[in-house]
Structure 1
Amino acid sequence: MHRSDVLIIGAGPTGLVLALWLSKLGVRVRIVDKASAPGTTSRALAVQARTLELYRQLGLADAVVQNGHRVAAANFWVKGEPVAHLPLSQVGEGLTPYSFLEIFPQDEHERLLIERLEAFGISVERNTELAGFEQTADGITATLHLPDGQQEICQACYLAGCDGARSVVRKTLDTGFPGGTYQQIFYVADVQGSGPTFNGELHVDLDEADFLAVFPLAGSGRARLIGTVRDERAENAETLRFEDVSRRAIEHMNVKIEQLNWFSTYRVHHRVADHFRNGRAFLLGDAAHVHSPAGGQGMNTGIGDAINLAWKLAAVLSGAAEGGLLDTYETERIAFARKLVATTDRVFTFVTADGPIADLLRTRLAPFLIPKMTSFETSRQFLFRTVSQITLNYRGMPLSTGVAGHVHGGDRLPWAHDGEGDNFESLKCLTWQVHVYGDTSDEMIAWCQEHHLPLHVFDWRPAFEVAGLGRNGFYLLRPDTYVAIAETCSDPKVIERYFRDHGIRSFFGAS
């Protein structure tokens, strides 16, 4: 009987990232997908700064940036003319090494992840579908439908449902998926074309309640159109053709379409599963939460789920932590998912609201306010922090404690950079570690050496103060680079007590 540590159902970005992280941490994974090949008509485009920061841990970030497209600006159109221009090339400058909006289509993204996963000797098993599973205190027994029509019974310690909005894992667990469905039909078209909207920037039409945006892709004259329709055409989504929706882009934004590479329609839901964990089975990505594409958050949130769960599973499977650590996956990720779904729902509802007042807000007020708001650094940074997910935190949750400087336990470690380098270089090691900015005690140095806990002491520099880091205390960092402890003292007994209380026995990870 085939046995693995973690059986992953679904090979989209969420499942692939989970498999990649676990493989890097020495966990035996098996990943299956019912599709015969990776997707070619994918919808997700944006790779947010927080995802790139975490990808830096596996040497993935450079490949994404090199093969993707950096968006220089966003433009808002009314009545066939651009009325507001928002520079994006350095919108998050000083906050992250990736202070820009990166476009890297999901199909290309998946191919990169598959290539990296194969370097670990792991291949996606295609045309393989989960028929069902049972779990006991000792593990999971799953039934798979194989490509040849046969069935296979296999075993795993844990099961990860990364199998999308129609998740078989979620349905087998009988977990509720409350929410609703947007009335609009979404369409996506990958086109070759020309005109003012093919200048490598993002363009959004504010004229009508139906959303329309032109996203730039790498390569000359390539773009992706994303839009909605809600009139009688939406009642026949299956028969909707590009010719039925393209005229608006042609007329409103002067788009000249030379070639249609592919066209797809879909409905969007806004839902969050009642639970992200049931015993040894977990839900991640679209299997756990779905929402409107406003802000380009969906794929990035699923990837965040995968990284959060990966290091916890690896710790428990290796005996470095007790099983209770896995309880924190749902606690941390479900809170963010609920907030995200509520936020994207409000944004999308505003953008697509119908009626004269909504039209006035979109076509008159928004073009006036957008340049005004973004002329202030604080407004630009707030916008970037929110969309890029660098503001996502686990404050007040079981694994988070303390405050030092402006940094709380549960925060992402702030990035600090000057001519002497940055403080993220050591984060490439997927392990617990301690950062000190300034001086620390001999006791802290000796304790970390004795317990093989990496300690990085940075000479105090002005850049650290600007980033909000505290001087002469310490930050205990989790393997996913979130702050576990923010402390103003340099007493190692604080760390010792933390690990004891959370059932964490050792700190080894992947270098």
Structure 2
Amino acid sequence: MKRCDVLIIGAGPTGLVLALWLSKLGIRVRIIDKTATSGSTSRALAVQARTLELYRQLDLTQVILQHGHKVPAVNLWVKGEHAAQVPFDAVGKDLTPYSFLEIFPQDQHERLLIERLLMFGVSVERQTELTRFVHDGVGVTAYLSGADGQEEVCAARCLAGCDGARSTVRKSLDIGFPGGTYQQVFYVADVDADGPSVNGELHVDLDESEFLAIFPLADKHHARLIGTVRNEHADTLTFEDVSGRAIEQLQVQIHRVNWFSTYRVHHRVAKHFRQGRAFLLGDAAHVHSPAGGQGMNTGIGDAINLAWKLAAVLETRASDSLLDTYETERIGFARQLVATTDRVFSFATAEGRIAKLVRTRIAPLLIPKVIAIDAVREFIFRTISQVTLNYRGMPLSAGTAGKVHGGERLPWVPGSDNFESLSRLCWQLHVYGVASEQLNAWCKERGVPLHVFQWTPAHAASGFALNALYLLRPDTYVALAELSGEPEVLDRYFDERGIQPQKDHLLNTT
């Protein structure tokens, strides 16, 4: 019987990120996948700003920026006419170092994660499938079937189901997956093309009842078409059946089709994300419309949220109740995301005379005027980039100092280095102004890094309070915001939650 700390089922981006984060924290993992190889084509393309911020902890961000493509703006077309533009590079420049949409296809993304995982001596075990498991709240006994058909038994302290919408883990746990399926058939086409809508920006076309988006890739003549069609015969649908609209409405000149596929999309959220020592992440926990490029990023967010909590509990630095906060923090966001993407997609594809009138006649007149408002453009960027995702009011979040609340993403201060320390996988403290001698002593005694920034008007503009302390979780969200700046509140915070902060020097620095 083989043993590990965490057995991960599914080697898509969610499972790979979980494996990588846990390995970085010194946790023994196994990751299996029933496929023979990693994907060579991909539907997921977008890496949002918040993911790029978090990826600094694994030294992945610069590689993705080097090999991907920055999308500076999104354009809206209606019936072949350009209607509006949202320039990401302008509206997000004061919010994040990554004020753009990064295109880095999932197949390349997976290869990068697999390469980094190999640096920790962990490889994906291919053609290996979970057939069943039993768990008793303390550990999991999993039965695996390999390529040779032989059954293997694996004892794990925890099980992570990252095995997609048809998750074996979720079904075995008998966790409900309520929701529905969109009527439309989605298609993806990878093409070599030219034209005004193949210019390095994202283009979305609203038509009478179908949706079409053109995503740019790193090669300026290479693009990805994602669209819908009302056709019950998805298995027999060809590119010729759908190409006319792209050619006519968005003026795309297609030179070659590299690959084409169709699929159906669900909008569902699992009833629970945790049962005992078994967890659901990514598409196993929530699926939704691809509108906004949120799916892969949300799964990655699940993995990052869970990884540091698993490490703390498995190393007995936190009580088991810390694992309850994974579902508490992630399920609400998943439900909100499914509802939001469903509304957006339903607007873009609704049938009926009134719906068509609103979408093709009224919307083209109103949208340019609304998008011209700075606050609206900023709201769109904040939402799509996931920088507004927060855990305010939840068990691990406490306090307010200035405009910053416990549970929020730490605000970025343009022109400063306040994000530099966020590459560290540990609890840490930020003070903007002056830190007391007592706070310095508390941090030194416990091995918690303290970062003190000389106060400037830019810190006030970003919402910070002078001399307040901001305790950051290992996933860089603000755990505690405290005006007094005194260390007693830190002891109380950790004691009440049964957590011992890990000393930074114990981290695996590979």
Q: Report the TM-score, using the length of structure 2 for normalisation.
A: 0.97
What are the superposed Cα offsets for residues 429-463 of structure 1, whole Å, 9 maximum, x if unpaired? 10001111112221111111111111111110111
> How well do the aligned residues superpose, as a CA RMSD in angstroms?
1.2
Residue ranges of structure 1 left out of the alignment (5+ in a row) = none
293, 298, 301: which one aligns with 1:301:
298
Equivalent runs, 1:149-164 vs 2, <5 Å: 149-164=149-164
249, 254, 277: which one aligns with 1:252:
249
Q: Distance in 1 between matches of 2:11 and 2:137?
A: 27
Deviation of 1:127 (Å): 0.6
Deviation of 1:114 (Å): 0.8
What are the superposed Cα offsets for residues 44-72 of structure 1, whole Å, 9 maximum, x if unpaired? 11100000000011111111111111112
Counterpart check, 1:367 vs 2:356: no
Q: How many residues align?
A: 506
Q: Distance in 1 between matches of 2:355 and 2:56?
A: 42
1:85 alignment partner AA: Q
1:78 alignment partner AA: V
Aligned 8 A contact 1:186 1:265 in 2: yes
Aligned 8 A contact 1:412 1:481 in 2: yes
1:408 alignment partner AA: H
Residue ranges of structure 2 left out of the alignment (5+ in a row) = none
Question: Equivalent residue for 2:313?
Answer: 316
Secondary structure of 1:8's aligned partner: strand
263, 268, 283: which one aligns with 2:265:
268
Counterpart check, 1:354 vs 2:378: no
Q: Distance in 2 between matches of 1:506 and 1:107?
A: 36
Question: Equivalent residue for 1:502?
Answer: 497
Deviation of 1:86 (Å): 2.7
Question: Equivalent residue for 1:343?
Answer: 340
Equivalent runs, 1:114-193 vs 2, <5 Å: 114-193=114-193
Equivalent runs, 1:47-126 vs 2, <5 Å: 47-126=47-126
Aligned 8 A contact 2:86 2:377 in 1: no
Aligned 8 A contact 1:91 1:100 in 2: no
Deviation of 1:225 (Å): 0.5
Deviates more, 1:296-305 or 1:450-459: 450-459
Secondary structure of 1:417's aligned partner: coil
1:126 alignment partner AA: R
Q: Distance in 1 between matches of 2:74 and 2:383?
A: 17
Aligned 8 A contact 1:204 1:214 in 2: yes
Q: Distance in 1 between matches of 2:366 and 2:182?
A: 27
Secondary structure of 2:90's aligned partner: coil
What are the superposed Cα offsets for residues 398-445 of structure 1, whole Å, 9 maximum, x if unpaired? 000111111111000001132xx3201111110001111112221111
Q: Distance in 2 between matches of 1:76 and 1:341?
A: 22
Question: Equivalent residue for 2:237?
Answer: 240
Question: Equivalent residue for 1:466?
Answer: 461
What are the superposed Cα offsets for residues 81-126 of structure 1, whole Å, 9 maximum, x if unpaired? 3232332333311101111111111111111111111111111111
Q: Distance in 1 between matches of 2:10 and 2:104?
A: 20
Equivalent runs, 1:177-216 vs 2, <5 Å: 177-216=177-216
Q: Distance in 2 between matches of 1:458 and 1:270?
A: 44
Counterpart check, 1:377 vs 2:374: yes
Aligned 8 A contact 1:474 1:487 in 2: yes
Q: Distance in 2 between matches of 1:205 and 1:493?
A: 56
Q: Distance in 2 between matches of 1:86 and 1:337?
A: 25
Question: Equivalent residue for 2:44?
Answer: 44
Aligned 8 A contact 1:84 1:368 in 2: no
Residues 405 and 258 from structure 1, CA distance in 2 versus in 1: closer, same or farther, beyond 3 angstroms?
same
Q: Distance in 2 between matches of 1:373 and 1:122?
A: 50
423, 428, 434: which one aligns with 2:423:
428
Deviates more, 1:248-257 or 1:330-339: 248-257
Question: Equivalent residue for 1:475?
Answer: 470
1:436 alignment partner AA: V
Aligned 8 A contact 2:73 2:100 in 1: no
Q: Distance in 2 between matches of 1:203 and 1:429?
A: 37
Q: Distance in 2 between matches of 1:58 and 1:79?
A: 43
Deviates more, 1:195-204 or 1:480-489: 195-204
Q: Distance in 1 between matches of 2:72 and 2:327?
A: 36
Secondary structure of 1:235's aligned partner: coil
Aligned 8 A contact 2:400 2:482 in 1: yes
Counterpart check, 1:289 vs 2:286: yes
Q: Distance in 2 between matches of 1:498 and 1:183?
A: 49
Q: Distance in 1 between matches of 2:134 and 2:21?
A: 25
Secondary structure of 1:400's aligned partner: coil
What are the superposed Cα offsets for residues 245-294 of structure 1, whole Å, 9 maximum, x if unpaired? 11111121121111111111111111000000000000000000001011
Q: Distance in 2 between matches of 1:498 and 1:76?
A: 47
Aligned 8 A contact 2:427 2:501 in 1: no
Question: Equivalent residue for 1:453?
Answer: 448
Q: Distance in 2 between matches of 1:71 and 1:490?
A: 41
Secondary structure of 2:98's aligned partner: coil
393, 396, 399: which one aligns with 1:399:
396
Q: Distance in 2 between matches of 1:138 and 1:252?
A: 58
Secondary structure of 2:425's aligned partner: coil
Deviates more, 1:440-449 or 1:291-300: 440-449
Q: Distance in 2 between matches of 1:333 and 1:79?
A: 38
Q: Distance in 1 between matches of 2:74 and 2:285?
A: 31
1:279 alignment partner AA: G
Report % sequence identity. Answer: 69
Q: Distance in 2 between matches of 1:409 and 1:89?
A: 28
Aligned 8 A contact 1:432 1:477 in 2: yes
Deviation of 1:194 (Å): 1.5
492, 499, 503: which one aligns with 2:487:
492
Q: Distance in 2 between matches of 1:459 and 1:79?
A: 53
Aligned 8 A contact 1:103 1:216 in 2: yes
Q: Distance in 2 between matches of 1:165 and 1:73?
A: 31
1:444 alignment partner AA: L
Residues 240 and 491 from structure 1, CA distance in 2 versus in 1: closer, same or farther, beyond 3 angstroms?
same
Aligned 8 A contact 2:446 2:503 in 1: no
2:234 alignment partner AA: A
